[in-house]
Amino acid sequence: MQIKTPSLLPILFAVALGTLAPQSTALAAKRPVAKAAAQKKAAAAAAKKALPALPALAAETALAANPPALPAKAWLLMDYDSGEILAAANADEPLPPASLTKMMTSYLVEQSLASGKLKETDLVTVSENAWCRGTSAESCMYLPLGSQASVIDILRGIIIQSGNDASKAIAEHMAGSEAGFAKLMNEEAKRLGMTRTQFANPTGLPDPVHKSSARDLAILARAIIHDSSKYYPIYAERDFKFNGIKQGNRNALLYTDPTVDGLKTGHTAEAGYCLVTSSKRNDMRLITVILNTNSAQARADHSRTLLGWGFGSFEKVTPIAANAVVATPKVSFGKADTVAAGLVAPWLLTVPRGQQVQTTVEINPNLEAPVAKGAVIGKVIATSNDKTVGETALVAQAEVERSGLLLRLWQHIAKLFGK
């Protein structure tokens, strides 16, 4: 008797299908992670494969001896407090800024948050234009198409992950389009005094007209540190995880120098490797800009060199104590004949180490009552080696009321006779 057995093929097929389905879903979910890993691997390979060595670019201006010569298209060292350029080479040539562009993108977001135009919890929708397809050719936050993310997450995605998708999405959210946002960027650049800058997009992706200079980028970095104190700590964060994908900050100095707390890296084939940093040691903060050097390692090394030279070559000095009476100028037609003049705030100057500083006082001419307490009545000018190194306002330390009619008449008569 022959027993018929049912074919095992349909059963095996069903089991296989049930087993593979979850794996397929898992693989699909892991694709952004895999893409991120591939992108990181490609970036690491590109960093190791340095371009041919560039010639060292000597300083064109330097306020202290023995400035470094650095192999880059442009470089700069700025004192944060005064905004003075301590050393620079080719500081004003418009060059492609790559993702350093995103400093302006993040700055506009931060200022909109500060003014209340944006809220941290506002949701930003990812359009097809903003969506990043995950190639190794660009940096991404990996925002899913059609998804939404909060403004504060978008801001971290721009600063830490250098996400082109995050930059495009917030540009569309704030201005309707990348072109509309670029207009806002250029208006803000003009307001800040960035005279060699023209933005065409919020990402820094190559465009023939998209340029900035080392000086302009230092001006922008200084504005971010000064105006965005609530959000500036984000620039020092070493990593950010979104949508299950954790990415590290590309600023290598954040991992090796605890005094460095920002700001941004950039790289395209056209722009080379770029880096803007800021470091604070004791009471001095310095900003560095490196544009178009030949590797990620080089941009970090050159920034370290500039910071080392800057902190080693300069120091902070206090020309006049904050509570000192600097002068007691005469006041005409007041109940008091003079008024004490002093500084409105503590005064620190950055000067070459060991260099002597002299001060001169200038009082506004024809000082007459009434004089309000805190009114500016002159200035102090600091010089070193016959060069002006800074100035600050002098203010009245007390109120001087206007004298009465009879006393004023007597004062007029005394003045006529030179008494």
Question: Which pLDDT band holds residue 15 (cuts at 50, 70, 90)?
Answer: very low
Active site residues: 99, 102, 162
Is the pLDDT at 106 greater than 50, yes or no? Answer: yes
Report residue 88 as tokens: 């620079």
Cβ contact 222:185 at 8 Å: no
Determine the pLDDT at residue 403: 75
Which one of 4-18, 176-190, 346-360 scores highest in mean pLDDT?
176-190
> Could you please report the per-residue DSSP string of 317-374?
E-SS-TT---B--B-BTBSSSB--EEESS---EEEETT---EEEEEEPSS-BS-B-TT
Average confidence (pLDDT) over 412-418: 61
**pLDDT tens readout for residues 239-254:** 999 999 999 999 999 9
Determine the pLDDT at residue 409: 55
Is the pLDDT at 52 greater than 70, yes or no? Answer: no
Determine the pLDDT at residue 332: 87
Orientation angle between helical segments 178-192 and 214-227, nearest 10 degrees? 90
Alpha-carbon span 328 to 326, nearest angstrom: 7
Which one of 30-39, 246-255, 338-347 scores highest in mean pLDDT?
246-255
Is the pLDDT at 28 greater than 60, yes or no? Answer: no
Average confidence (pLDDT) over 393-417: 73
Show the domains of the chain with their CATH numbers: 36-313 (3.40.710.10), 341-416 (2.60.410.10)
Determine the pLDDT at residue 16: 36
- Residue 26, sorted as left (phi over 0), alpha (psi -120 to 50) or beta, turns out to be alpha
Name the residue with higher pLDDT: 380 or 21. Answer: 380
Lowest mean pLDDT among 102-106, 298-302, 323-327, 404-408: 404-408
